[in-house]
Structure 1
Amino acid sequence: MPRIVDHDERRRQIAEALLTVAAREGHENVSSRAVAKELGVATGSLWHYFDGFDDVVRAAAAEVTRRTDTRIADATAGLRGLPRLHALMREVLPIDERTRTEAHVVVGFWGRIATLESTPDAGAPTLATWQDSIRSSLEEAVADGALRAETPQDAVMALLRSITYGQQVVEVTEPQPASAHLAVLEGILAPWRA
């Protein structure tokens, strides 16, 4: 009887193998051969699940987003306002070993993802998937009186999005202590605190 394989789970395993190789050896050493070796399979077996290596890269980028979304959901459960916003940002900013490693992997993806043809399910790591949570957190912070009523929420949200990308690049090019990354966050919020 043929073995039944969960197609989606196998795709995720392949994407995770790419992320493991990228984190351990750097993006310059990521190849279909390296990913297959990480999984302990023949390179050709990857193509039962993907049309090409670009599709594996897209899946790995989507996996980074999925992992981060899961962490954010866990970290923000039961929180609202500024505590919710801080918990969310702590899962994205490079402030611990996991998020620092992730920053190196994510920044390495950006150039490659930018050159790929766009697809409806291209899951480039992006703060866009968390935008609603950030917006809600800011609205709650204003409603709770933690931020002033005149807080320009759209502008603050745009700045938060920018520092998410920016601090990841800073971490890759000039590693900083967690306090420096968090100070940038506080610098954005401080003028609007009630």
Structure 2
Amino acid sequence: MRQDGQVPRVVDHDERRRQIAEALLVVAARDGHESVTSRAVAKELGIATGSLWHYFDGFDDVIRAAAAEVTRRTDVRIEAATADLRGLPRLHAIMREVLPVDEGTRTEAHVVVGFWGRLATLASTPDAAAPTLATWQDSIREALGEAVTDGALRTDTPLDAVMALLRSITYGQQVVEVTEPQDAAAHLAVLDSILAPWRL
């Protein structure tokens, strides 16, 4: 108990880390990555810059946590969007959450593409790539397998090759959106062109 008789508020360490990561994402989306600094993140939260270091070892650590938060948000959206779906409908629902087809995913594309350069320059750590791993790739692979089972894709569909192409376009179309913005139909047309040779 404090001298003033009040019980100190217990701060959830993981939740505070997430709040800091989310603040970085807000700054990046609103002001651009060139404005992302420890001071800007602290100001967004209304705290002293030094308070960040109670939860992170350094600003590189904050950047990694913010990248991981983007991945977590995408996973949550995909889980909600794909409930009770399978096969091609499930695949399309997944891809609509990772391709830049609406205001939210377009903003996310700008944030994510900006992260790639920064993450590449960070000091190497055993799990340095972990924040940007596409954890939804397993879901895409399952959806493709379901589409074959359901007769929507040919039985000789090269699942590994199609999977690799889908992974490439998720990153590639984010870059396209940042450099040459497209409408949703254009991004989804790339998906359809990959699937077209194998549809039944």
**Range of TM-score over shorter length:** over 0.9
What are the residue-to-residue correspondences of 1:49-68 with 2, within 5 Å? 49-68=55-74
Identity, in percent, stands at 81
Letter in 1 for 2:45: L
Please name the residue that 2:89 is paired with.
83
Distance 1:119 1:34 in 2: 28
Please name the residue that 1:192 is paired with.
198
Scaled by the length of structure 1, the TM-score of the pair is 0.97
Distance 2:39 2:126 in 1: 25
User: Which whole-Å deviations, capped at 9, do the CAs of 1:96-148 have from their partners, x for residues lacking one?
Assistant: 00000000000000011112213437543332x11211111000000000001
Letter in 1 for 2:131: A
Distance 1:168 1:3 in 2: 41
Of the candidates 175, 178, 181, which is equivalent to residue 175 of structure 1? Answer: 181
Letter in 1 for 2:60: D
Please name the residue that 2:48 is paired with.
42
Please name the residue that 1:118 is paired with.
125
Instruction: From the CA coordinates, give the structure whose radius of gyration is larger.
Output: 2
Distance 1:119 1:60 in 2: 18
Gaps of 5+ in 2: 2-7
Letter in 2 for 1:166: G
Q: After the TM superposition, which parts of structure 1 deviate over 4 Å for at least 4 consecutive aligned residues?
A: none
Scaled by the length of structure 2, the TM-score of the pair is 0.94
Letter in 2 for 1:174: E
Cα root mean square deviation, aligned:
1.0
